[in-house]
Amino acid sequence: MVLNRRRGYDIIKNREATISPIDYMQYEVYYIMIRKIVHEVDFCVVGGGMAGLCAAIAAARMGAKTVLMQERPVLGGNASSEIRMWISGSAGKPGCRETGILEDIQLENLYYNPDKLWPVWDGVLWNAANREKNLELLLNCSCCDAEMDGSRIVSVTGWQMTSQQWHTVKAKLFADCSGDSVLAPLTGAAYRVGRESKYEFDENISEETADLKTMGNSCLIQARKLDHPVKFVSPPWALKLTAADLQNRRPNLQSSGENFWYLELGGNRDTIGDAEAIRDDLLALAYGMWDYIKNSGEFDADCWQLDFLGFLPGKRESRRMVGDLLMNQNHITSGGRFEDTIAFGGWPLDDHDPDGFWHIGRPCVQVATPAPYGIPYRTLYSKNIDNLFFAGRNISMTHAAMSSTRVMATCAVIGQAAGTAAAIAVKYGLSPRGVYLERLNELQQTLLKDDCFLPFVDREISPLTASAALTASSHTGDLELLRNGIDRVNHIYGGTEQSASIPVGGYVQYAFDKPEELSELRMVFDSDLDRRTLPGDGVERSHSMRANTKPDSPTMIMPKTLVKSFRVDISTDGENFEPFFTEELNLCRLVRLPLGVKAKAVRLIPLAMWSDYDSAALFALDVY
């Protein structure tokens, strides 16, 4: 049949109510060919992993009209239910848990998802983005083209497989948070692949000779213990493993942290171009591993059932963008002290052999790093594309440095920094580099105000906070800690207590010499960054989710130290107070409450805790 091109166009144009089957076929064909939706925004983020999600939320919250283009149906990337790698970062070191937007998300997950169920986690991530009024989500939309004007990106275009239509996003600024740096080949952005020679940057964990090898991909396994035996019949294409194959990869089903991350392949190939073949090999390996566990007789696995095996590999490394600064191993091991610190890391230098599972010996080599070490802003934007940010495992790093910064909690705080910088760039009409040259202090102070910890960078106190009279009904600890600019306990501050304790039902207040125009009250509560969120004050692993599940796997609880409800009162004369705002269900460590009133005093009253504690620890109270 020859399709009538003119007829198909007319059907689309006129939206005829009654059409013949042949006409309808023509309508369908030309609808798909012609249908293109154009979005004009301030900021476009490509990639919806933890870095991209936090970048998009940060920019949207600051008023930048933002689009987040994500090729998968769910957010989170490696942390999503499709791959199921929990979020790791610096939290194993005292006082080093990543806060900001990531902390908001993880506290919400404790409340809505106490049993750590992956489908519920997907919903928590989706809601975090969907509720932002300045953020539009384009899920199932794969970025596949870019329009350039010299060294500037004009637009990117993605194919949305569910709606079968093209989405073109025109923006002032773009961020590649795709992990694979998909915008590099589409825009000509400078990038690197593989391992540097140890001589290029004097890195002692690097190779003698540079190569194109990377860390590999993994298809993760999750298992569930039942109260009765279950069988497993291996598919014919699964690998037949031997005891020798498992010599350095011994599974531990008794650990809730066993997710078989070491089932890793592909680092000696192209993790992008060979992705499908690598996936097939990983599936054969993963099914072979479970077959060996169940049927070799070496493991007490009769009651264990295969609960999940990921068909979408988690990826550790591919392209890395090149910015104004290329961070290397020595920057990290020396403590990462930069004038333009905008995030921090603390994971070890964790380098996996490109041969992955078939490497004879340990699956990875880990070298301890100072925690926290700073990460500079100059690693977050392109050196040759004028309006391109990037965040996640693809920032401007050597292979050795990336082996530490690639973990998702670190990627998340990097993402928040990139999104914040983008909003500042939009506000002042600047390029990413222009923010570094002209608005670096504003970027750092905005991040600190949004509860992002920056090593060795002090948070500035508002003049109104500094000059007010600070009093409390009663308290434990120095009240002046509430306005010293330090919002956590960390060894950088001597590891000493940095919070004041206010009794539940008591108050802490600022009073002013005369009525002042108050715009905002900022509160930082104690969300227990060490996470004693197991029943009985047990310390949770640092991750939001778990791998293996047993019948007695614990249900998580909210941090006992966190304020559950509070009230803010306002006084216009300094003596008589009226209720202004009450929060009955607080899930946040950072609360920024808009005021918009003229008052002579403002008072915070903790009303209840997420436990039977009778006092609330407060790290900061700031008034603007």
- pLDDT tens column, 528-539: 998 876 666 555
CA atoms within 13 A on the CB side of 192: 22
Alpha-carbon distance of 176 to 146, in angstroms, equals 12
Alpha-carbon distance of 394 to 119, in angstroms, equals 27
| Tens digits of residue pLDDT in 379-418 | 999 999 999 999 999 999 999 999 999 999 999 999 999 9
Find the DSSP H helices in 88-143.
101-112, 118-130
User: In this predicted structure, what is the pLDDT of residue 539?
Assistant: 59
Checking DSSP bridges between strand 165-176 and strand 388-390, what pairing results, if any? parallel
User: In this predicted structure, what is the pLDDT of residue 544?
Assistant: 73
Alpha-carbon distance of 597 to 65, in angstroms, equals 28
Alpha-carbon distance of 68 to 415, in angstroms, equals 13
Q: How many other C-beta atoms are found inside a 10 Å radius of the C-beta of residue 324?
A: 17
| Tens digits of residue pLDDT in 105-153 | 999 999 999 999 999 999 999 999 999 999 999 999 999 999 999 999 9
pLDDT at 604 over 70: yes
| Tens digits of residue pLDDT in 518-528 | 999 999 999 99
Alpha-carbon distance of 546 to 84, in angstroms, equals 9
pLDDT at 18 over 60: no
Overall average pLDDT of the 200-228 stretch: 96
Q: In the block, which residue shows the tokens 């993790």?
A: 271
Helix (H, G, I), strand (E, B) or coil at 32: helix
Overall average pLDDT of the 485-496 stretch: 93
| Tens digits of residue pLDDT in 418-449 | 999 999 999 999 999 999 999 999 999 999 99
pLDDT at 560 over 80: yes
User: In this predicted structure, what is the pLDDT of residue 254?
Assistant: 85
How high does pLDDT run on average in the chain?
93
Q: How many other C-beta atoms are found inside a 10 Å radius of the C-beta of residue 611?
A: 14
Q: In the block, which residue shows the tokens 């990639």?
A: 47
Which whole-number Å values give the CA distances from 345 to 204, 376, 455, in the listed order? 19, 11, 10
User: In this predicted structure, what is the pLDDT of residue 307?
Assistant: 96
Alpha-carbon distance of 191 to 181, in angstroms, equals 8
User: In this predicted structure, what is the pLDDT of residue 297?
Assistant: 94
Which whole-number Å values give the CA distances from 494 to 73, 94, 95, 484, in the listed order? 45, 12, 11, 14
User: In this predicted structure, what is the pLDDT of residue 173?
Assistant: 99
Which pair of tokens denotes residue 297?
């007789």
User: In this predicted structure, what is the pLDDT of residue 613?
Assistant: 96
User: In this predicted structure, what is the pLDDT of residue 552?
Assistant: 87
Overall average pLDDT of the 578-601 stretch: 98
Which pair of tokens denotes residue 97?
């848990």
pLDDT at 7 over 50: no
User: In this predicted structure, what is the pLDDT of residue 381?
Assistant: 98
Helix (H) or strand (E) run with residue 350 in it:
strand 349-352
pLDDT over 70 percentage in the chain: 93
What backbone phi and psi angles, to 5 degrees, belong to 592?
Answer: -115, 105
Dihedral of CA 130/132/134/135: which sign?
negative
8-state DSSP, 358: G
Q: In the block, which residue shows the tokens 């009226």?
A: 578
Mention every residue, 6+ apart, whose C-beta is less than 8 A from residue 18.
none
Mention every residue, 6+ apart, whose C-beta is less than 8 A from residue 276.
none
Helix (H, G, I), strand (E, B) or coil at 119: helix
DSSP secondary structure, 267-316, as one string: TTS-TTTTHHHHHHHHHHHHHHHHHHHHHSSSS--TTEEEEEE-SS-EE-
Closest by alpha carbon to 253, among 533, 546, 555, 535?
546
Mention every residue, 6+ apart, whose C-beta is less than 8 A from residue 258.
223, 251, 252, 547, 548
User: In this predicted structure, what is the pLDDT of residue 3?
Assistant: 41
Which pair of tokens denotes residue 615?
């006092």
Find the DSSP H helices in 113-158.
118-130
Helix (H, G, I), strand (E, B) or coil at 323: strand
Mention every residue, 6+ apart, whose C-beta is less than 8 A from residue 320.
181, 191, 192, 193, 393, 394, 395, 396, 397, 399, 402
Alpha-carbon distance of 383 to 580, in angstroms, equals 49
pLDDT at 468 over 80: yes
Which whole-number Å values give the CA distances from 104 to 7, 392, 527, in the listed order? 53, 19, 10
Q: Looking only at Cα atoms, what is the longest distance across the chain?
A: 86
pLDDT band at 255 (very low <50, low <70, confident <90, very high): confident
pLDDT at 261 over 90: yes
pLDDT at 165 over 80: yes
In terms of C-beta density within 10 A (0-12 exposed, 13-18 middle, 19 or more buried), how is residue 573 classed?
Answer: exposed
Residues listed for the chain: 624
| Tens digits of residue pLDDT in 78-109 | 999 999 999 999 977 788 999 999 999 999 99
Overall average pLDDT of the 349-364 stretch: 95
Distance of CA 598 to the CA centre of its chain: 38
Q: How many other C-beta atoms are found inside a 10 Å radius of the C-beta of residue 369?
A: 24
| Tens digits of residue pLDDT in 304-313 | 999 999 999 9
User: In this predicted structure, what is the pLDDT of residue 8?
Assistant: 47
Q: Among the listed ranges 12-21, 516-525, 596-605, 611-620, which one has the minimum average pLDDT value?
A: 12-21
